[in-house]
A and B are shown apart, each in its own frame.
Chain A
Amino acid sequence: MIQIARPVAPVAPMVTNCYPAHISPTSAKNYLGCSLRFYFEKVAGIRKPTSPALHNGKAIHAALQAFHLARWRGGDDSPDAIAQAFEDAYSRLEREEGPVSYPDANRREVERLAGLRVVAAYLDSPEALNDRPKGVEVKLTETLPGLSCPLTGAMDLVRGNLVPVDFKSASTKPDPGHAAFDHELQLVSYQLLIEAATGESPPSLELVFLVKTKMPQVIRVSSLKASRTRKARVVSMLETAVQGIAEGRFHPQPGMHCSWCQYRRECLRWQGGSR
């Protein structure tokens, strides 16, 4: 007996939300600030020329990291060594991350010298690290209740008493009253990571601003550790970002930040709809 095979009706593809592999406080903040810009940068991977400020900030960060690592390891933390670390990072970043969009030929030198002055100001300031830190550039990944994917973060510095420190290079003097609120997502995320990783709570959370004014300033802003309510608030913000990314909700969010957005041309082409 011969049987004739009957065609099977096609099954519609099952659409599922794609959760990110992890979420960082910076990425969450970027998404919540403008989800469409987040899409262009993080999902579509559209590269843009590095701005002078960003490039300078990265080199400053590398120099400070070299200093803290030297303190941690007992290495050479002299101003000359740290200045060399800044110069090395300056050149390496240009090679590895592409050209920097300097407006004119002299701007590079102006920015470089400004960065060196800021680093020197930090080394000379009372805010410079004196004791041995718990860790430098500490990367942690933890699963938290209420968050649909792991939280990951890289803390610039963790003091011996578990206080996380994040360094910010800025062109203007920050308002200490606003600073902790402006960076709440990041700082409280660091607290959550430290608590999950060690079982202990840091006594406070710190920001250290390196202000590139004519006379460079180093301003430390310390805030109390987050309460249970604030931690829940931050987890909710993180989860909001995670859900939005998973559901492909990327859309323009007009505001003052559009003035310096590098993706305005791409944004103008957005005609609605999800990813």
Chain B
Amino acid sequence: MAIKIIANYSKRLGLPGFSSHQFSVSVETELVTTDDLEGESQRLYQRLQAAVDEQIQTTGFVPPPDYGMADAPAASSSDRRSPPRNGSPRRASPAWRCSDKQRELITSFVDEHQLDRNEVERLATERFGKGVRQLTKLEASGLIDELLETYGGRQGGLPPNSGRSAYTGRGGRR
């Protein structure tokens, strides 16, 4: 009876601008004998790892931080390397109106859950009538709750309680 061995090696790397890329290689082969199964597994692992590591170093396109957000130009690789052809200055992306912590939370959540940024923009527009960057702190608070409830698995009505008291002190005098 023929014995098959299936091996897979996958690697995912984070990139700037809340981007990431991954690469995996799989192989399936038959073994003549099972006497050296461990050795064969080790050789396959090393070969697959070498193949993945060699290829994954080529990162390709890395999107800018505002890629995919409303009112933000979707810059391509060539655009990032050359100035605008018509000589006009590139329009700067609007700053976020919400707090830095809220911005970090939103962008981290989108990246962590691999959300479609257009979908997040749609949600913001549907709820508040504006894009994510234009949300005030008050509105961003609502968007964060929506994201947590929709994608974070949190039920509405009962906010999570970490159990840690905020009044045991954070040390030092301001």
A residues sitting closer than 8 Å to B (CB atoms) are 16-22, 27, 38, 42-43, 45, 61-62, 65-66, 69, 72-73, 85, 89, 92-93, 96, 134-140, 142, 148-149, 154, 158, 162, 194, 196-199, 245-246
Contacts and interface: CB of A to CB of B under 8 A. Distances in A.
B3 interface: no
Given A136-B142, A158-B138, A20 B156 contact: no
Given A43-B165, A134-B139, A158-B138, A16 B145 contact: no
A198 B166 CA distance: 25
Interface of B: 127, 136-139, 141-142, 145, 156-159, 165-174
Nearest to A133: B142
Central interface residue in B142, B157, B159, B174, by most chain A CB within 10 Å: B157
Contacts of B172: 16-19
Given A135-B141, A139-B145, A149-B174, A89 B157 contact: yes
A244 to B, nearest CB: 11
A135 B145 CA distance: 10
Given A65-B156, A92-B158, A139-B145, A20 B138 contact: no
A247 B156 CA distance: 36
Nearest to A147: B174
Central interface residue in B127, B169, B172, B173, by most chain A CB within 10 Å: B169
Contacts of B142: 134-136, 138
Given A89-B157, A135-B139, A148-B174, A20 B166 contact: yes
A218 B172 CA distance: 46
A198 B138 contact: yes
18 contacts: A16-B172, A17-B172, A18-B169, A18-B171, A19-B169, A19-B170, A19-B172, A20-B167, A21-B167, A38-B167, A61-B157, A85-B157, A96-B158, A135-B141, A137-B159, A139-B145, A140-B138, A196-B137
B141 A140 contact: yes
A17 B173 CA distance: 6
B138 A43 contact: no
Contact of A62 (B145, B158, B165, B171): B158
